[in-house]
Amino acid sequence: MPGEFKIIERLRKAAGRPSGSLLLGIGDDCAAFRPAPGFETLATSDMLIEGVHFRVSQGLGAVGYKSMAANISDILACGGEPLYALAAVGLPAKGAMRTALSLYSGMRKCADKFGVKIIGGDTVRSDKLVISITAIGEAAVGKTVTRSGAKPGDYILVTGDLGNGAAALKQNKAWLPPLRPQLSSKLCGRSLVSSMIDISDGLSSELYHLCEESGTGALIYEELVPVSKAALNLAGGIRRRALSAAFLGGEDYELLFTVPAECLGTALKLGRKYSKLSVLGRMLPVRQGVKIFCSGKAKVIPRGGYDAFY
């Protein structure tokens, strides 16, 4: 395995020099940046482990891209602008330099696409490939969106199509999510969104998270759930079978959010400039539970989705 500092130096050269509000980047004990006046800092961290969250055969560049996208998605789900990322990797000794550069190339591709600067991290030796990324962003004071702001009567919306992540996994591919920074910025900047979460673990799991944090129930309609073409193809064109990929598959990284009734028209008109938007249903009082309307009746949605411990 090449020395840790040789790997870091290669990555440092690829990252470029600090500029703008970034005062110190890769190479010092810490990175340093100057927060903008009137903004609050957002931070999130995500870890991916070979054999649990990805396979090397999916392609190191794609795995690197997905690992960065997962963190950027969290910043967007809070209505923030992603700015910086720190990337720590555990590398098997064999082919360590090649692995690091391939992963970093994918991370950089994603980071550059969404205006994120990689400003530090760590490298260690590991029996399995491990990736841990921390993303840092900002939102104007008072504009950060949480999971806890939904109220009964709010409409439930989702971006894009669901099931792409699960379909990619079945084909041993890493799904590279489109992400929706402009939609998140416009809707949250105008206070049109009452709560939001990204779909990393499946529609079912994330809807339950919104309801629990907001103290509400929910009713969605099966025919309104946008199922991806990839999920339909793998399900032999049978929509009911493809729905399981949308509800339980995860890794779509689309945005699930709620909008007060009086804001729905404005949110749809503005949001559809940047993404496909589907209205799934409405939030309910908590006593009514989390349900889906299908086959003429409302049924409780089974709680499920990706869980790293099962």
Over residues 261-308, the pLDDT tens digits come to 999 999 999 999 999 999 999 999 999 999 999 989 999 998 876 544
**In this prediction, what percent of the chain has a pLDDT beyond 70?**
92
Residue 4 has pLDDT above 60, yes or no: no
- This prediction has a pTM of 0.91
Over residues 212-225, the pLDDT tens digits come to 999 999 999 999 99
Residue 82 has pLDDT above 70, yes or no: yes
User: Which range has the top average pLDDT, 4-13, 117-126, 149-158, 235-244?
Assistant: 149-158
What are 46's strand-pairing partners? 133
Burial of 12 (0-12, 13-18, 19+ CB in 10 A): middle
Average pLDDT over residues 63-76: 97
| Helical ranges in the chain per DSSP H | 4-15, 60-77, 96-113, 164-170, 181-189, 203-214, 229-234, 239-244, 264-271
Residue 1 has pLDDT above 70, yes or no: no
Type of residue at 187: L
Q: What is the pLDDT of residue 310?
A: 33
Q: What is the pLDDT of residue 84?
A: 96
Cα–Cα distance, 110 to 89 (Å, whole number): 17
3 confidence band (pLDDT: 50, 70, 90): low
Over residues 175-207, the pLDDT tens digits come to 999 999 999 999 999 999 999 999 999 999 999
Q: Flag the least confident range among 13-17, 32-36, 128-132, 282-286.
A: 13-17
Domains, the chain? 4-140 (3.30.1330.10), 155-300 (3.90.650.10)
28 confidence band (pLDDT: 50, 70, 90): confident
Is 188:258 a contact under the CB 8 Å cutoff? no
Extract the tokens encoding 166: 């699960």
Q: What is the pLDDT of residue 21?
A: 81
What are 117's strand-pairing partners? 84
Extract the tokens encoding 277: 């938007």
Phi, psi for residue 286 in degrees, rounded to 5: -60, -35
Over residues 92-104, the pLDDT tens digits come to 999 999 999 999 9
- Nearest residue to 168 via CA among 244, 109, 231, 226: 231
Is 60:102 a contact under the CB 8 Å cutoff? yes
Cα–Cα distance, 164 to 233 (Å, whole number): 11
Report the half-sphere exposure of 144 (CA within 13 A, side-chain side): 16
- Nearest residue to 195 via CA among 181, 180, 216, 178: 216
- Nearest residue to 100 via CA among 51, 49, 47, 63: 63
